[in-house]
Each structure stands twice: as C-alpha cells, then as structure tokens.
Structure 1
C-alpha cells in the first residue's frame, strides 16, 4: 500500500508517543516496563477523549547513541513478581495505590482504540514489542526493522496475543516457525508476509514518500487512516487463512520436530498449544494463551532458562570502575586501524583469528611451520567463502576480512600489535619461550594473552618483564573457537583490573560470552571436568558400565554430548598430553608417583598403545567412517570393547542411569563449590554460564550449581558425596566442600548464600584468623 503525498483533508493532530521519552535515551532497547506501558495507556486515553486528536503514532525514538528500537520486549525483571493472571482493568490499585497496566490489557486497548494507531518501527520489535505492534492498526518500518517472538528462549511463551495475532497476519506455518524457533525476520520478509504495511526506503522509487523519514511516512499513514474505517484493520477481528483441518495438519507436522517435554520442551509445547487456539475468537484464544503463559512462567524449565539469561548478564558486568581505560585501542568503535596477532595456525588459533577478522581487526596469523600456516590460511579463506554462500556475511565484508589477514612466520612483524593471543600446544616451555620473545617485540601497551586451557597463567607471566605482567592474562576459547560462545577470561596474580575490564568489553564486542575466572589448574571449566572424565572412565574399569551406557545416561540427562563422544570430538591426545604434563601417565613399567589413587589407565593406553585419537584419526572410544555422517557418527568399536575387558572387573552388577549421573556430575558440582571457596569463580551463576555455553549443559536445567540448588537439593548432594567418599576413599573430588556443608547447615541454597553476601562476610572473618 502506498499513501498519496497530497495533503490530507483532516486537520486533526497526530499524537506521537515517543518511547525513549520515558524509558530514557541510555536504554535503546525500550523494554516494556511499567512506566512505558503507563505512557502508552495514558496517551490512548488522551487521544480517545480529545476531539482535536485524530490519530496516534507509537514510536521508539532515538537513544543517546542514535540507535533506534521500537521495543525489544518485556522487562524480564518483572516476571518474578507475576504469579497470576492480570486484572481485566488497568489503572491505580485501590489497595496499595500502585499503578498497574498489564500488557495484555494494553494491546486490547490499542486494538480497540477509536482513533487509528500506527506503529513506526525501527530496529527491534521483539516479544512484547511485536505484540504491541500487532495490536496497532498499521505498521510502518524502516529497513532496520527486526521482528520476532523469542519468548521460548527465556522459558515462557508470548502472553499478550502474540500466538493469536501473528498467525492471522503471516499464516500459521510462518507464525509457528517464528514462535517455536525464536528466529526473527527482517523488514523485507515482514513486508512479504504482510506483517508490515510499508517499508520506508525498501522500494526503488523517486516519490516523496520514499524520501521521507520513518516518522514522516507514519504521519502520512496516520492522516490517511483517519478517513478510513478501522474495523477491518483490527488484527484480532481477522480470521486465519487456514481451515480447521489444515491447522490440525500443520500443528501435527510441527509437533514432530519438538523436543520431549522433559528434555526442555515445556515452552515450545505450550506455544504450540496456544497457536492451535488461533482459530477461536481472539478473546477465547488469548485466554488459552494466557493459561499456557502462566504454566511456563511457573515451570521449572522456564525459571531455569531465565536464571541463565540473567546469569550471562551478571557474568558480563564490568569489574571495578566502568570507565577504565575507555581510550584503549581495543575499545574503539571501529577496529579498522587496530592490529592483532594470533600465534599458532592450528584449529584453535585459526578459529580465534577468524573471530578477530569478523570483528574488524587486521590480524597477523603466525606459525613458524609453513605447512601449518598454509593450512590455516586455507581453512580461513574457505570458511569465509562458506559464510558468503550461506548469506552470513556480504561479499564485500569477505574481501575485507581476507585483505586484513596477514599470514607470517616472523614474530618481528608484530611490532605494532595492540593484542596478541598465543594458541599453540599445551606445553609450558614452548609458551614461555613465545612470550619472552613477544615481550621484546610488541609495543609497551600491547595486551598479551594465552589461550591455554589448563596451564598456570602466573608461571607464563613470569617469562615477561615485570612492567608487562599487568597486561598479561588468559583468554580461553572453547573449540571450535569461531562457533562456541564461551570464553574464560583468566586473571593472574599480576593481571590489572584495567586489563580485565578491557578484556571483558572486548570479549562482548566480538560476540562472545566472557566469564572472569581465577588462575588454577583447569580454571573453572576444565577443573570441574577432571573428575567427570576420570569417574566416567573408572565406571568402565569397574565393569559396571559400557562406553555407550555412560554416554546414553548423560545424553538422557540432557547434556549435548556424552563424555566419550565429547572426548572423541576434542581429541583424546589433548587429555592425554595434559595428564602427561601433570606427571600422571606411567612410562612403561615405571608408575608415576603423582598419579591419583584412583586413576583410569585405560584412557592413557587407548592413546599410547592403540593410537586412537578420536574423530580426527577415525577412531577413539568409538569408530568413525568417513562414508557415514561425514565421519562424525559414533559407531561401536570391537577393539575398544576388547581393551576394556582387559581392565574391567568380572561379574559386576551394571549401574543405573541415575547412579551414572550421580557418580559423574556430583563431584563436578562439589568442585564448583571449591572454586567458589577459593575465589576462582566469583558467583555460582558464573559456573552455570561456563557449563551451559562451554560444555553443553542443558539450559533448561540452569547449570550445575542451579541444578544442585533446585533439583538435586544440597542436603541430598552432601549425603551422597559422603557416601561416595566412604566407598572411594582417597578421592579428593568426593570429599565434600566446606562451603557445601555450611550451606546445608544454614539451610540455604548456594545462590541464597551469595545473594545474602555471606561469602564476603566469611572471607572477612577468615582473613582475621
């Protein structure tokens, strides 16, 4: 629809409601909190009662950074206080004098307004923001418009008519795709499916409308709409295009793609149930939607997902003063003039290089071995071109990235770098030698980082000059680095708060989820993994489980990969080399003195004697065939079965899935408590973020610490650890943490313990002893 640019005969005022006027220009997302809902409500009241007002425009406005969003959705901090359906009227609560303007009542008021309401959309219109837009009579967008209902990601479903109005506009299949996958669509696609009426700047036209601003075009629509009937523009009064039988078939097809309820499917199944109701009149359908919304709001999976949402934001809070070194080159708005370097062109180094190239850096990829360097360059160029083919980046951006890649075998080329990341083999001598060279070559302000997964950051830092050590830290990416979201920012003894702050902000800028952790063997993620890897393998040697039964139990729990599948994907030689570095691996008949009392030798033998390295060698704990699943499908191995039989005890009773889960995961949680005790992790939720984003822990179980608090129960956890300690003496990871004992004694979850500030008080008391 194109509106004539001729002046309207209406002389009435168009009331423009600017969201940023109440939300504040420093919050560009315009969350639909109480103040914004009240602003919209009162503006509609004014429009309906004032005869000089002919129409209303809802507009996101501009933030202090000139970014514009309509609204990115509900204020999730309000969800904790919502426990029942909202009242059917809005206004001031007579009991406590507080205002209440429920979103579901607001969208009804917008849709039923007797004056036309136009949504002028720029940027994000997500969740409740899209529900507000759907209730407007016209929707005008610019080319930056982004539309979606991502509620399932935070454990709820749309609760203000989204599951009812969206299918009426864009068809049921498209609505289901958007709601169940949480994927948003751009302005062009939104216009194609009828979600918006017009996109400013999309069509090639010389008309004055195309030269208009978004708000100018919205005003033209509003003036025209004043002359037109409104009933056929109320989306809630429309009917879906599909017949009842077609709707049933569409829903049945969609249901086959959903995860089981107990495996994280509570939200999507509730959303599907709500969408099924879109064939009903809007009030009846909305009542079913609201029922399903509150079901998910109170459900354990929804609560765990929202815990994860807030845990990420808590982990990313900048330490100390937020204004630390804002002029640092790594915090510039553009990285076009900033040079970085990655040492090591293997899979990890090349992945980190790709991440930095995507962020806009010029990157020196360094490897002293030409064959490795060439292989890394081939990987990078091939991956960049694959991104172009899949539409992830433009051809122009791909050319810039390739031009910004500077492969070299010379450390001397790094003399202008602001950032250098070392990503070579896990060998302390090699790493220290590299940093000693970098100390002499790189400029004084250059930040030096190691991608080590286990090694001592402080020992590495000792290889550089004292003045450089505050600029030294760990930056532990997870493999593959260009895919995995998590990065551990490892703070050494000498690492300055300034450097930590810069790295927190940079990690976020490159699209990763950064968690600040302390320096110890394995930091947080791999430290907890030590007991997990050992105990799952010891189950094999005890003869109570098989490779497949252990993986099956962990997969049924909800973790993305079984422990043996994960080990094969990462490479069995990596764990073997780490154990060798620790002095645990026996050398022939010479048994290591450093080896733990309970130690799974089979994990070493499978590498040293059988050369089974995992997927990359075509054989690990499983066999792999390049003709099946591109060489990634786990196939049972007779050779591994025979090897395990040599170690396994005879006549043992197989353990249950629950016993496997407790043996494998309880010591992990216990180690998490010890990380908190020692200050290696700052918050219980930081450990949850590490495991959800780095190790495939199911987000609907919140993370290991959340799971212990809310599903297992700390009393049960402590009792089982005490039982395991008696069953397996001299096993440190089963010895219950003092912090766990303290929480049980005080009848608090560990989350409550930290929220109450008791850990800080305990530290003060301990420091005086």
Structure 2
C-alpha cells in the first residue's frame, strides 16, 4: 500500500488498483482529498501490473460532498473538475464503489468514473440547491446524460437523496453489491476488463438528451408544475438553466455555462443565508452545559395523554420510528375518535401512494388506546398534550408522578405555560421538560424543547437524541411565556392587528408577508389554525382584541366555518376579502379614535418584522435562547420563515442592526414606548457588532 498523501492511499490488489479515500468523518472533498484522488488515479494508470481501478472510501461513507469550510475562500488546486477529468480520461476503467452517501461533489466524482457500483443501503444525490447553489463540477451536465432530463430536473432541483436501488433502476448505478463492497467492486472491475467493455465517458453520452431536444417545452412545463415549491428561491431556476445548457450546448460549453450559473448563485445573498443556516441547524444540537458523554435514557416505549389533534400527531412520530405508544383519553368516545383520525391520516397517505399498506399496519399495531393513566406506568417517556390550563396540567402531572416508574421522563406539549410551575406538581422536577411540537405534529419538523431550572442533563440529552430519532429538528430553550417562537410571533400579531386599524387592508398585510417569503400572512394563518383558539386564550387572560373578538363573536372561526378574517367558498381554501370584516375594522378604529390612513408595504413589513427581532434580542439577553442562530432554526422550521433569508437574526444582520435600531426609535416617537429598542440591540449597535458576533 502506498500513501499518496495523508488522505488517500493506493494499493494493487491483483490486476485491480484500489484508490482509497480516508478523511473522517465524511470524506469531504477538501483540497488534500482532491489532490490525493488525482494522484491515486495517476498512480494506478502508471502501474503496469493493473488493468482496472476501483475508487473506494474508508469509514462510514463514500465522499459525502464538498468541504463546505472552503466556501467563500480562494480556490485551491486541483479543482474538482480537474480531478474528475483525470478520472474520466484514465486509460483504464475506473469503478466507483459507493456506500453510505455519495452527495454533491461526491456523486459528481462518481459520475466521472466509467462505472458505479453500490451497496443496497447507499444513497446518492446532488443537494447543492439546499445550500442556495447548484452542482458546480459537471453534475448538471452529466446526470441528465445518465438518467434523462426529467429525472435530472427532479433530482437536482429537490436535492433529494436517492436510494441506491432507485438509482440502479434509473441507470445511475451499474451493479448492486451484496457483501463486501471493495471485493465486489474489484470483481466487477475484472468483469469489465474480461468482457472488453468500453470506457464509458458520460460526457460523451447524448442519447438520454434526445427526448428533451425534441421537446424543449419540458423545461417550462417543469417550471410551471413546481412554481409554488420554488417560489422565492433563486437556485432552482439556475439549476434548470444549467440542465437546459446540457441539452442545448456541447459538453465543454455546458460546463462553462454551469460554472457561470454557479458563480452567480455563490456570490448572492441567498447562498450565504442558506449556508449560514446549514451550520446553524447543526449548532443547535449543542447545549453548552450538557457534556457530549452525558448518559441517555433508552426510550423503548412512549405514553401520550390526550388523543386530540396534537396528541394524535405526536403519537404518529413515535409509531413511525418504531416506538410503541399508549395513548390515553378521558372517555372511550374521545379515544376512538382520536385513534380513528390517526388511522385515517395513514390511510390517506396510503391512497396517495406515499405509504405502503404493510407500513400502516405495522404503525397501527404499535398503538394501544386506553382510558386509564395507570396504563402508562411502564412508559419511558410520557407526553401530556391536553388543553392549555395550568390547574388541569398540574393535576395530570401529579397523577403521572405517582403512576410512572422512576426514571421516566414527564413532558408537556404546552406552547405558553410555565413548565417550572408544572414541575412543582411532581416529586421529580429534574425529569420534567417541555416538548413543544408544532401543528400538524406529524408533519412540522421543529421540536422546541424547553428546559426548566431543574431539568437534568440526562433528560435534556435524551430528548435531543429522541427528537432526531422521530424525525424532528430540536432546539433547546428556556422557560418564559410563549418560549421563543410564540413570544416573537405575538409581537408580529400585535402589529398586524394595529396596522389594519390604522388603515392597512388585512389582505395587504398578508400579501406583504407572503411576498417576503412566508407560506401565508398572519390573518390567513389565523383562519387556517382557527380563530377560536386565540379567542379562548385571550378570554383566559382577560385580554381584549377588538377586531379578532368581534369576528369570533359572529362565529367566524376561519376555514372550518367558512368565514373568518376572510370568506371561503364551500370546498375552497382560497381566502376572499369580506366587506363584513372591513366594517368591523372601520368601527373598531372609530371606537378607538384612530384616524385611518394609507399604509405603505415598506411600513407593513418593518412593523411586522422588526418587533420580532427586537423581542428576540430580549430573549437572547435573558438567556432563554442559547444563541442567535437557534432562534433562526426555530423560525425557519416552526413558522415558515424563508430559509433563503436565513432566519430573523441573520436577516437583521444582513440589513444592518443600526438601520433597525433607527427605525425602532422612529416608531417609538410615533407609536409609544413599546418600540423601545432592546438593551442588547442598542449595545450591539453602539459597539458596531452584529448578532453573529455574540
């Protein structure tokens, strides 16, 4: 065995040379790895004892992508295109041996090989679009030449990880390997030589492009079909343009066009924001005062109290992770209804072809219903998901404390209440935590985990690990009313309600925030969630909201009643402005002595977004959130903040904290002390710093 450099080795195994990358943890394409692969291929070509080459990787995965830490830095030679060209121009067949994941530059490297083999558990993909860029080393030019233009469009613009068996069916993988991958790849390489197979250079293959050349409308049809999904994003369009270049230009010219489109994105704000978020999401997994080696509780069974919308959705997450669930309701009728909803949700997914019937049957077999809390005595974790009432929650936790085994975690799904107080109802406050799922709980990826003053490190570490197991993105926060997400959302809601009194049309408020990148505006969102939810909370706190209360008093609870802030035709979810609501708003403004006026889109955006940022600064200063980037993760995954803007804190840094600070002072002069800049925001401005500097 010869060490090409510290990352790559070369060894002749009989008549096959094996180039092995070993750069833990994921064999990313750093400069050293690129140079090593190039040197390894050159060594194999020069080795007269071998007539074929296998490119393999040590550790848990094939090349999992580019070294993202090199982004934004001066390029170092050799570039990946040079490495791939070295592979493709080899005089001996090169076989990529894929396990784990071959993503981004990893798959582009494999596409430069003459053949590809993989183990069944492997996955491949070009996920660059999720970082706001496109594959920049020939991926947009080679992939459509292998799998066809339609599949290439789907794979590249979605960034999906494609299972090896699916990739094999699409022609991207030449052979599946059962057993030892390297030995299987060597055997395949020998077969290629023995059968005299050609050196398949994908760059020279054009057959799979012919259909698109005859039907160029395929691109506009694809744009139209995905317009809603791509809304606001720049990278998908550039991906499409690059694939169009693969169809319409010679390969070398297509590579140049790909590079132009890549650089256009790379220098843009969206790529910077999405790459920032990539790291923010991973940073959120780290809790400073919880050591990495903290022992975890083995969660083998789960209990859910409450089989309503939230309880049922939460249960589905555990069932899909293979964790048995016992769900408890107060009556058999409520229990049957809740389990029925879970079953119908799965059945609907089966009918759409997104779930197999066998999988549904397996999930349902893991679910047990009960009307007795006693049946939760052996659960490793119990999550309470009943309505927002402190007295009732404390009563339930007191009972669970007596019933559940020692070492079981007691969690609440509350979205606003003081979890420290809930913990006082138990003899184990160190085993009490908030697990705030977002609705619909079986779909939304965010899990806002809320530590109390007494929650143990083991419980926190366990719940963070559990979140990943059930497919969630966890962020640990502290206790305060509304925690992080809803506390900030309340500030946006207050301003949206005030703006319509001052003269802004509610459809304009919704439009401005939709155009900013949110899935919907605050009033359409309230109609979707149900206006009665907020009404009940306000009544419990003795809080008044003139327009919202008047709407609810008329029974206008939103989409479920056909009327809310908007009117909805039967069977439609399209909001339509309603003169009745405009009359309610005008009367409320008159009663409050407000002289209505024209409100600009710019003012709407600033008055909805800046109070959220100001509140986030207070949250940071209070230590409720560990870091600014955690707040961004919460808002992207929990509230639909457009990822291409990075999150509210990244957005604030981008537009400049001084600009926000000055606008807050302006609004304070016009509207009152609620616009006073947060002390942290003021300090950062005076020190010339940003949230990223914290």
User: CA–CA distance in 1 between the matches of 2:314 and 2:282?
Assistant: 23
After superposition, where does 1:571-590 map in structure 2 within 5 Å?
571-585=530-544
CA positional deviation for 1:401: 1.8
> Does the residue aligned with 1:365 lie in a helix, a strand or coil?
strand
Q: Indicate the residue corresponding to 1:335 in structure 2.
A: none
Moved more, 262-271 or 360-369: 262-271
> Does the residue aligned with 1:53 lie in a helix, a strand or coil?
coil
Task: Indicate whether 1:283 and 2:226 are aligned.
Answer: no
Q: Indicate the residue corresponding to 1:36 in structure 2.
A: 33
CA positional deviation for 1:181: 2.2
After superposition, where does 1:1-400 map in structure 2 within 5 Å?
13-19=15-21, 22-24=22-24, 27=25, 29-63=26-60, 69-82=61-74, 86=75, 100-200=77-177, 213-226=180-193, 233-243=200-210, 245-246=213-214, 248-257=216-225, 259=227, 264-278=232-246, 279-319=248-288, 320-326=290-296, 328-330=297-299, 338-400=300-362
Given candidates 464, 468, 479, the residue that maps to 1:504 is: 464
Task: Indicate whether 1:458 and 2:417 are aligned.
Answer: no
CA positional deviation for 1:247: 6.0
CA positional deviation for 1:138: 0.8
User: CA–CA distance in 2 between the matches of 1:255 and 1:41?
Assistant: 38
> Does the residue aligned with 2:560 lie in a helix, a strand or coil?
helix
**TM-score, length of structure 2 as denominator length:** 0.93
User: CA–CA distance in 1 between the matches of 2:86 and 2:298?
Assistant: 50
Q: Indicate the residue corresponding to 1:402 in structure 2.
A: 364
Task: Indicate whether 1:748 and 2:689 are aligned.
Answer: yes
CA positional deviation for 1:365: 0.7
Q: Indicate the residue corresponding to 2:601 in structure 1.
A: 657
Once the two structures are superposed, what CA deviation does each residue of 1:356-390 show, in whole Å capped at 9, x if it has no partner? 11112211111103322111100111222334444
Q: Indicate the residue corresponding to 1:719 in structure 2.
A: 662
Once the two structures are superposed, what CA deviation does each residue of 1:78-101 show, in whole Å capped at 9, x if it has no partner? 21324xxx57xxxxxxxxxxxx43
After superposition, where does 1:469-508 map in structure 2 within 5 Å?
469-508=429-468
> Does the residue aligned with 1:248 lie in a helix, a strand or coil?
coil
Q: 1:606 to 1:692 in 2, by over 3 A?
A: same
Q: 1:58 to 1:223 in 2, by over 3 A?
A: same
CA positional deviation for 1:479: 0.4
CA contact (8 A) 1:258 1:265 kept: no
> Does the residue aligned with 1:495 lie in a helix, a strand or coil?
coil
Task: Indicate whether 1:522 and 2:482 are aligned.
Answer: yes
Once the two structures are superposed, what CA deviation does each residue of 1:503-526 show, in whole Å capped at 9, x if it has no partner? 111111111000111100100000
User: CA–CA distance in 2 between the matches of 1:380 and 1:229?
Assistant: 56
Moved more, 158-167 or 237-246: 237-246
CA positional deviation for 1:713: 1.1
Given candidates 631, 635, 640, the residue that maps to 1:696 is: 640
CA positional deviation for 1:394: 4.1
User: CA–CA distance in 1 between the matches of 2:452 and 2:229?
Assistant: 43
CA contact (8 A) 2:177 2:185 kept: no
CA positional deviation for 1:476: 0.4
CA positional deviation for 1:314: 0.5
CA positional deviation for 1:198: 2.0
CA positional deviation for 1:532: 0.7
Once the two structures are superposed, what CA deviation does each residue of 1:549-607 show, in whole Å capped at 9, x if it has no partner? 1111111111111001111122212222222333324xxxxxxxxxxxxxx42222322
Q: 1:101 to 1:260 in 2, by over 3 A?
A: farther
User: CA–CA distance in 2 between the matches of 1:185 and 1:502?
Assistant: 30
RMSD of Structure 2 on Structure 1 (CA):
2.2
> Does the residue aligned with 1:648 lie in a helix, a strand or coil?
helix
Q: 1:316 to 1:13 in 2, by over 3 A?
A: same
How many residue pairs align between the two structures? 677
CA contact (8 A) 2:381 2:408 kept: yes
Once the two structures are superposed, what CA deviation does each residue of 1:235-289 show, in whole Å capped at 9, x if it has no partner? 1122254458536322333333465999533211221222222143332221221
Q: Indicate the residue corresponding to 2:496 in structure 1.
A: 536
Consecutive unaligned residues in structure 1, runs of 5 or more: 1-9, 64-68, 88-99, 202-211, 331-337, 586-599, 755-769
Consecutive unaligned residues in structure 2, runs of 5 or more: 1-11
Task: Indicate whether 1:548 and 2:507 are aligned.
Answer: yes
CA contact (8 A) 1:569 1:615 kept: yes
User: CA–CA distance in 1 between the matches of 2:387 and 2:569?
Assistant: 27
